[in-house]
Amino acid sequence: MSAISRSSDSFQLGVCYYPEHWNESLWEDDFRRMKELGFSIVRVAEFAWTIFEPEDGKFSFDLFDRALDEAHRHGLKVIMGTPTATPPAWLTERYPEALNARQDGVVYRHGQRRHYNYSSPVYRFYCERIVRKMSQHYGNHPAVAGWQIDNELNCETNEFYSDADHIAFRQWVRTKYGTLDKLNEAWGTVFWSQTYTDWQQVYLTRPNPSDSPNPHQLLDEKRFISDNTISFARLQADIIRESAPRQWVTTNGLFGHLDNHAMTSELLDFFSYDSYPQFSAFEDPENTSSLRDRKWSLSLSETRSISAHFCVMEQQSGPGGWVNRMDMPAPRPGQMRLWTYQSIAHGADMLLYFRWRTATMGTEIYWHGINDYHNRPNRRLHEVAQVGEELGRIGNLITGKSFQAQFAILEDYDNSWDAEFDAWVRPLRWKSKESWSKALQERHIPVDIVYMREGTKLEDLLRYPVLVYAHATILTENRAALLDAYVRGGGTLIMGARTGYKDERGQCRMIPFPGFAANWCGITVEDFTLCNPNFPAASAQWTDEDSALPTALFNEVLTVESETAEIMASYTSQYYSGGAALTRNRHGDGWSWYLGSAFTEEAVHGILDRMGTPSPADGWADLPKQVEIAIRGDIVFLLNYSHEPVRLNFLVQVNDLLRSGSLFGNIELEAYGVLVIQR
Ligand code: GAL
């Protein structure tokens, strides 16, 4: 049972609330109306440092004591945020060393949020003190269910270049490498005479001509940022565990340069995500070619890879936008409810809307809460009331049940951080991720994301009959051994161009491409080219059928090295016309596919057709492309992302939980409609 389900049998629905933003006379009515909507939990305080500590060392809990007591009187549970994302002006004015800086040394100043660094000893002192004071004060409060550490670690910026960060990085590399010789080797400093002869010469990357720092140093910089972020979160988690041992601990967000898997397994009870699907609305309003808000499902799969059961700490509850940017249209009728079920379908057991009422001041006056300023009923409130009523009835049938997927996309932090800076790889990763997620969505094949980590075991991989590891340029010996065993053990592994040529330092191996993967793929790469508008990617053709397989962004010409490997498609243009583009190899009891390109949607569909990968809807439901299927235990979610009604056909009778009745045959699902079915 997950930590969330342990804390309650029913689905916990709620909202982010800022008592400090409102006249106290509103609180009673606000909490009463929350309860009426079916809410059971509110998050507070994550930006309220100056309320708790208006002056250095002077603490005041009165305002939140009154707010929490009022929430408690209304039967609401409370999540306390630690306010360390918003240091008070008195602190940063007195201790500017607590502030973050840009790479060029310009220091971020008071006036926004997240302008601090994780390294400064003085900032850590103040953070520890406020978190200790708060957790001691609220550790036994009957309303407090748990804690959110900071707010969205590494949001706004995930780069840190203050003096304190340079010093902490120097210490980090010393611990990692021990000697300068080892550091010089790992960073390849013999290239362009970058050799370090004293630790004092070592910094985080700094401004340089052409904005091109040493790539191996930059990869370590990201690893350092991740470790440093986790160590900042650890300070807080340890204090809360000590002072508030009966309350759970989480943090929210999914941001860069942070190994959320390590942080969660080392520090948290579960992970929380903030879901704003409207960020995708800028693209393709007609929803013809991209997934738009359905893309969020992949981020939710990523969240699920961190915590099988998670909390959505902030669910978009209206149009969004800061006063100066991120201008978003209003969610159409039904869309907020759809997004809520999207989160739940993917594993949320607790969900809070952001936010109760739109702020009347500050940067977020266009980031809409459920309530407008006037507090009269509106469309958003009606929609949330419907969700509250529905989850009150069926929520406990969903919570604690696990998402079902037979297909997984492999990821790892080394490759995603290395590729951020690598112009030969970054576009391939984006393209392939988009193609795989779209094709799998359209074919109604639910997908998990699995991170390759130090502790990843063969059985973690063998749970999935099929794995895609599209462009693992960094492939360590351990990971290669695991993948080899997976394929030999009966799995099907699909890989793409630029696999396996780097080691964990990001340096290139002096063996044929695709490095260790040649073993299970049964091929090597004899020639290759990056493709761009001046050198378009070649077309290819399937061996078994007279149909085209478009390639994208990169072309590798493959040589078959093993008797068990076969050519599935060959190039039909460019100077390598006739060369192998896609191969399949029988390795042990499994199969290994290798495409010498980024994956286009057509390539993905062609591979899945040939593998015969089933959908869990097969045999009982015909679903149109617009509908996503997600399954948790015996509960099936069918979500229509289109702004038109669609038709579904049930081949067997199914139990419709939301409308309490059965469904059979051809039925219409309204625009943005949701079906929750028990099978
Ligand atoms: C989140 C953040 C919230 C609020 C929201 C809307 O990233 O945690 O505090 O800013 O976005 O912008």
Does residue 506 belong to any structural domain of this protein?
yes
Q: Are residues 464 and 527 in the same domain?
A: yes
Does residue 40 belong to any structural domain of this protein?
no
Cα(228) to ligand 1 centroid in Å equals 23
Side chain identity, residue 421? F
CATH of the domain at 652: 2.60.40.1180
CATH of the domain at 567: 3.40.50.880
Q: Are residues 654 and 602 in the same domain?
A: no
Strands 248-250 and 144-148: parallel
- Helix 426-442, helix 413-421: angle, nearest 10: 120
Q: Are residues 635 and 499 in the same domain?
A: no
Evaluate whether 552 touches 531 at the Cβ level (below 8 Å).
Answer: yes
Q: Are residues 604 and 496 in the same domain?
A: yes
Q: Which residues contact 178 (CB under 8 A, 6 or more apart)?
A: none
Q: Among 611, 645, 663, give the residue marking a domain's end.
A: 611
Q: Are residues 601 and 490 in the same domain?
A: yes
Give, for ligand 1, the residue of 44, 299, 364, 370 to mutate: max count of ligand atoms closer than 8 Å to Cβ.
364
Cα(154) to ligand 1 centroid in Å equals 12
DSSP assignment letter at 106: P
Does residue 411 belong to any structural domain of this protein?
yes
Q: Are residues 602 and 628 in the same domain?
A: no
Q: Are residues 416 and 558 in the same domain?
A: yes
3-state secondary structure 574-594: CCCCCCEEEEEEEECCEEEEE
Does residue 277 belong to any structural domain of this protein?
no
Rg (CA), the chain: 26
Say what the pLDDT of residue 94 is: 98
Q: Among 560, 578, 611, give the residue marking a domain's end.
A: 611
Q: Are residues 561 and 627 in the same domain?
A: no
Does residue 146 belong to any structural domain of this protein?
no
Q: Which residues contact 591 (CB under 8 A, 6 or more apart)?
A: 487, 492, 493, 584, 585, 611
> In degrees rounded to 5, what are phi and psi of residue 197?
-120, 0
Nearest ligand 1 atom to the CA of 155 is 7
Cα(251) to ligand 1 centroid in Å equals 13
Q: Is the CB of 152 under 6 A from ligand 1?
A: yes
Cα(35) to ligand 1 centroid in Å equals 24
> In degrees rounded to 5, what are phi and psi of residue 141?
-70, 130
Q: Is the CB of 340 under 6 A from ligand 1?
A: no
Q: Are residues 594 and 548 in the same domain?
A: yes
Q: Which residues of the chain fall short of a pLDDT of 50?
A: none
Cα(372) to ligand 1 centroid in Å equals 17
Evaluate whether 38 touches 13 at the Cβ level (below 8 Å).
Answer: yes
Distance (Å, whole) CA 111 – CA 122: 20
Q: Is the CB of 274 under 6 A from ligand 1?
A: yes
Q: Whose CA is nearest to atom 10 of ligand 1?
A: 364
Q: Among 580, 611, 642, give the residue marking a domain's end.
A: 611
Distance (Å, whole) CA 205 – CA 255: 20
Does residue 145 belong to any structural domain of this protein?
no
Cα(621) to ligand 1 centroid in Å equals 38
Q: Are residues 434 and 497 in the same domain?
A: yes
pTM listed for this prediction: 0.97
Give, for ligand 1, the residue of 152, 255, 361 to mutate: max count of ligand atoms closer than 8 Å to Cβ.
152
Evaluate whether 521 touches 585 at the Cβ level (below 8 Å).
Answer: yes
Q: Is the CB of 151 under 6 A from ligand 1?
A: yes
Distance (Å, whole) CA 370 – CA 318: 7
- Tokens matching residue 38: 């079916």
Distance (Å, whole) CA 467 – CA 495: 9
Say what the pLDDT of residue 8 is: 72
Say what the pLDDT of residue 290 is: 75
Residue 318, CA distances (Å) to 42, 74, 146 in order: 18, 25, 26
Distance (Å, whole) CA 511 – CA 524: 10
Q: Is the CB of 364 under 6 A from ligand 1?
A: yes
Nearest ligand 1 atom to the CA of 46 is 9
Say what the pLDDT of residue 7 is: 64
Q: Is the CB of 107 under 6 A from ligand 1?
A: no
Q: Whose CA is nearest to atom 6 of ligand 1?
A: 367
Q: Are residues 672 and 569 in the same domain?
A: no
Task: Identify the domain containing residue 666 by its residue range.
Answer: 621-678
Q: Are residues 587 and 534 in the same domain?
A: yes
Count up the domains in the chain and report the number: 2
The C-alpha angle with vertex 225 and arms to 221 and 229, in degrees rounded to 5, equals 170
Evaluate whether 423 touches 385 at the Cβ level (below 8 Å).
Answer: no
Q: Whose CA is nearest to atom 9 of ligand 1?
A: 151
Q: Is the CB of 354 under 6 A from ligand 1?
A: yes
Give, for ligand 1, the residue of 18, 44, 153, 274 to mutate: max count of ligand atoms closer than 8 Å to Cβ.
274
Closest CA to 444 of 679, 631, 667: 631
Does residue 356 belong to any structural domain of this protein?
no
Catalytic residues: 152, 314
Nearest ligand 1 atom to the CA of 47 is 9
Does residue 35 belong to any structural domain of this protein?
no
DSSP assignment letter at 46: T
